[in-house]
Amino acid sequence: MEFKAKDIAALLQGVVEGDGEVLVNNVSKIEEGKPHTLAFLANPKYEQYIYTTEASVVLVNHDFLPSQIVPCTLIRVPSAYEAIAVLLRMYENMRPQPCGIEQPAYIADGVEMGEAPYIGAFAYIGKGVKIGNHVKIYPQAYIGDGVTIGDHTTIYAGVKIYHGCVIGSDCTIHAGTVIGADGFGFAPSGEGYNKVAQIGNVVLEDQVEIGANACIDRATMGSTRIKKGVKLDNLVQIAHNVVVGENTVMAAQCGVAGTTKVGAHCMFGGQVGIAGHLKIEDKTMLAAQTGVTNNVAEGSVFMGAPAFDASKYRKCYVLFRKLPELYGQLRDLEKEIQTLKSKQ
């Protein structure tokens, strides 16, 4: 399908600069732009490409001020990144969507299923499962007994959801993720460890997205809870009885130990590790590979392991890089002192 620049601008409530009649039929990265495609510029690091791109139309922020002549049509919007996200969602929704129940698939007696489901081949749907409207369950997914899945949720191939877990509406769970496996609970005994039964569940609220091969463990008692709007990247581990607050995001390979409470609107970089039984307050930002062993106050920005204030960490890192030089100077001073003492 082809769209005119002026029509895209009207859809995004943007302003056209250039030829509003130019047609686009695909999208491209600005550094790899091709004729009749739409690109976007949100990060100033990529500004150089807007002067050479072959893309026909580029989305830019309202405040973008070009330093050279721009060869393409511009559409100015409040946020180019948000605008391209809107367009990509629309593009994705235009693709043909699977529907119906493929065979072979196992659906136990008593399953409640809403309108227009998609159940892929070799999927397993256990007893007492409740599935909302327009849910998609891709091949080889396992949905355990008593699971509830809300409307418009997508569960990709190979996902495993253990018994009694609750998945909200408009959620996306990517391939290979396991939800509701036992929490890591073992009681020390004289001869080893006795397993503590994990009798709780996992609750994902609405609009949660979980990346591929992530693990969210069921609670020992009660619920491990992932609140509305949370986005977890691939290979994230959430332990038993953890609570993750609304609209918090975690990059790949983060790990949160048992019973820790993470606030709302937090942002964690890759490989962040958080010890158990802690409280991470709202709007906390943790840089990649940060290791947290104590409670964190609201709005904190931490780096390092053990974690401490990011601005102090950067200053310490400057000194750390100079340690070999400083150590050499210290050894020279020690030698000079020893020489002076020997002459006394």
Helices (H) and strands (E) in the chain, counts: 4, 40
Burial 142-180 (b: 16+ CB within 10 A, else e): bbbebbbbbbbbbbbbbbbbbbbbbbbbbbbbbbbbbbb
Neighbouring C-beta atoms of residue 279, cutoff 10 Å: 14
The number of CA neighbours under 13 Å toward the Cβ of 132 is 15
By DSSP bridging, strand 172-173 and strand 154-155 are parallel
Q: Is 104 exposed, middle or buried (0-12, 13-18, 19+ CB in 10 A)?
A: exposed
**110 contact partners, CB below 8 Å, separation of at least 6:** 127, 128
Tracing tokens 């977890």 back to the chain, one arrives at 232
Task: Extract the runs of DSSP E, i.e. beta strands, from 245-290.
Answer: 249-250, 255-256, 261-262, 267-268, 273-274, 279-280, 285-286
List residues bridging with 204 in a β-sheet.
167, 226
Sign of the alpha-carbon dihedral angle for 20, 95, 236, 132: positive
Q: Any catalytic annotation for residue 240?
A: yes
Q: Which of 134, 152, 174, 240 is catalytic?
A: 240
Question: What are the catalytic residues?
Answer: 240
